[in-house]
Amino acid sequence: MASGRSIPFRPGRWCARSPVVANRFYAGSEETQSSRGSALKSEQIKEITERAAADLIAALRAGQSLALTIYLKAIARFHRYSLHNVLLIASQKPDASYVAGYRAWNQFGRFVRKGEKGITILAPIVRRKREMPDGTDESSRPILGFRRVFVFDLSQTEGQEMPRVGLVQGDPSHHTGRLREFAASENITIGYSDEIAPARGISFGGRIALLPGLPPAEEFSTLAHEVAHELLHRGERRRGISRTVRETEAEAVAFIVCSAIGLETGSAASDYIQLWNGDAATLLESLGFVQQASARMLSALADVERDPRETRQPI
């Protein structure tokens, strides 16, 4: 059955948001962050991430849906980080906006204020380049383990102003074109049809139909929602999850992608909480799929300028 995004499902209205830091700023590879640490055992890594997950679950059980909204926004801000590291950042500093290591901040002419407490994340330990055969690609160096490193939020630093991009002002601008290009690269065709009303968009499996005449921001968010269906719900996994799960996952992806480009939406958390029944594993599995789909879309939307150190997928 075709998935659709109808008007009643919309959790809130879209409006302009403050400028966002240019995409090239996202902290470089985690290997370059400051603070060297010894390798962590797998049990320690599991303990760190499970503790952060438990905090999120406890907040949701207490009816604090804001906790999940904070987490979804953290994915939008830190989409190049792994699910575990996004969770760690959000649990330690929910209001974090842009994070980087001590030395990375220095390269931007900013300095961590004295006495500020670092945010712990996990960074991979990779085999040294001189130990690898000549011509080995940087991104293919094997991971030997993980270690704790510390990053700091923009609010914990001072110095030169950060580079910014222009205000979106309710218009996703060139991002709509880039999202269309990404869809085409995934062999997804996009068209318009009045016949799908009152739905704003429908995903048919390899084809998306949009309702004509939507405002630019609404068309973008609807397209993001339907592309999410195409990425997440067209394989074996579709048969194992309910329509509620599919719709809330797609809306969570749209929430993340739109937040990342400067659009604002109401809370998607109240719907998204339906994905779990007190089961932390179920929630984290779903968030993992949401994070992966969001990261793919946001990478396609990112400006051409990328930090050359970002050669490895985060852990």
In the chain, where are the structural domains located?
Answer: 3-17+165-275, 23-159
Q: What is the DSSP string of 19-61?
A: --B-GGGS---GGGSS---PEEPHHHHHHHHHHHHHHHHHHHH
- Whether 233 contacts 246, CB under 8 Å: yes
* Residue 16 CB neighbour total at 10 angstroms: 14
- Whether 19 contacts 262, CB under 8 Å: yes
Cα 35 from Cα 120, distance rounded (Å): 10
- Whether 253 contacts 288, CB under 8 Å: no
Res 72: pLDDT: 86
CATH of domain 3-17+165-275: 1.10.10
Give the residues of the chain that fall short of pLDDT 70.
Answer: 1-42, 127-142, 163-170, 265-271, 273-278, 303-315
Res 128: pLDDT: 65
Res 131: pLDDT: 54
Q: Per-residue b/e over 20-36, b at no fewer than 16 CB within 10 Å?
A: bbebebbbbbbbbbbee
Res 121: pLDDT: 92
Backbone Cα Rg of the chain: 20
Res 227: pLDDT: 97
Cα 28 from Cα 80, distance rounded (Å): 9
Backbone angles phi, psi at 215, to 5 degrees: -60, 150
pTM of the model: 0.68
Q: How far is CA 61 from CA 14, 87, 252, 277, in A?
A: 28, 17, 19, 9
Res 172: pLDDT: 86
* Residue 291 CB neighbour total at 10 angstroms: 25
